[in-house]
Amino acid sequence: MADFVCLSARLVVEVDGAQHDVDDVYERRRTQWLQNDGFRILRYGNRDVLMETDRVVEDIWRHLGGQ
């Protein structure tokens, strides 16, 4: 399950602790499935979201086509 998704932009945002470990077989398969379906996946650590919120929001905005 994705933490956040923008269907029109085909963008998935994951805010993760250990549950979204990209070395995990399930997560790799899930990421591949989403990418094969045309989604881009952005991953941010919990600390980044809490402590560097502006940077995270700016990065998401940039991926959505904002300036």
Q: Which sequence spans correspond to the domains of the chain?
A: 4-63
- Across the 67 residues of the chain, what is the mean pLDDT of every consecutive 10-residue run? 90 78 78 95 93 96 84
> Residue 49: what pLDDT?
94
Tokens of 40: 């881009």
Query: Rounded to an integer, what distance in angstroms lies between the CA atom of residue 53 and that of residue 40?
Result: 20
DSSP states of 4-52 as a string? EEETTTTEEEEEESGGG-TTSHHHHHHHHHHHHTT-EEEEEEHHHHHH-
The CA-based diameter of the chain, rounded to the nearest angstrom, is: 35
Query: Rounded to an integer, what distance in angstroms lies between the CA atom of residue 43 and that of residue 49?
Result: 10
> Residue 40: what pLDDT?
95
